Amino acid sequence: MPSKRELELVVISDTHLGTYGCHAKELLNYLKSIRPQTLILNGDIIDIWNFRKSYFPKSHIDVIRQILKMMSHGTDVIYITGNHDDVLRKYVNLNFGKLQLVNHYLFQLDNKRAWIFHGDVFDNTTKGTAKLIAKLGGKGYDLLILTNRAINWILEKLNYRKLSFSKRVKNSVKKAVSWISNFENTAAELAIEKKVDYVICGHIHKQQNKEIVSPHGSVTYLNSGDWVENLSSLEYDQGQWKIYQYKEEISTDIFDDELVPLNFEMQILAPFN
């Protein structure tokens, strides 16, 4: 049986547990394959906007179980709130053993300063009246992902390459490309002003690791991507950042450790009912 990969820090975001688009089984496989000192959950982990009692499969609950298991084995977990789980913001600064709930997190990383937040603060569509439209759009996006999966199943049977409709839209529509660029530059400018070395975001579902230079300085901008389309995370170890891309050859069976019992799962989900 292969050993788990030991890592200093892992950042995941936008898992959207509780939606059809979430690749919970793949995420569980990944979590079982690593042993990080710190795991940062950078927002939109449980999709409370789209939560419904009728859909929260066992595979999604198993992800929560695995995170609890990692905590019981010594992993520190920092949960940063996002827009799809913004109801948790009323409980920020909660500390529960190895779990810390915050809106943003500033910390030292090998003598460098890192600043991490979800990133919805830059998105006006998550506020006020536009929030309702965004929620409706989220349901449409969920349906698009579900349809995309069905089509990809057929393509796979016919030995054709899989397609991602939402990725194609994001990469081809000029406004979408411009919005992502503006998001990254705004985050970088704020980070440079704050005099940090790394700024780490989620929210836009686009993994990234690049240096951004402005007239006021430079900063390393990182984004962990998501577990709906890209199945990616950020990993930090031995002074190096890398984007991890999920590999299908990882199997749950080879890391078939027992999950923490979650007899109180309904209490965990109670605030979202």
Name the residue ranges covered by the structural domains of the chain.
Answer: 5-267
DSSP 162-212: P--HHHHHHHH-HHHHHHHHHHHHHHHHHHHHTT-SEEEE-SS---EEEEE
> Which residue has better confidence, 222 or 258?
222
Mean pLDDT across 17-21: 89
CB within 8 Å of 198: residues ≥ 6 apart: 109, 112, 113, 114, 115, 191, 219, 220, 222, 241
Residue with tokens 């194609």: 168
Residue 159 — pLDDT band, cuts 50, 70, 90? confident
pTM of the model: 0.78
- Is residue 98 within 8 Å of 71, Cβ to Cβ? yes
**SS3 (DSSP) at 108:** strand
Class of domain 5-267: alpha beta
Mean local confidence (pLDDT), 106-117: 96
Q: Does 269 score more than 50 pLDDT?
A: no
Q: What is the pLDDT of residues 36-52, one digit of tens each?
A: 999 999 999 998 877 77
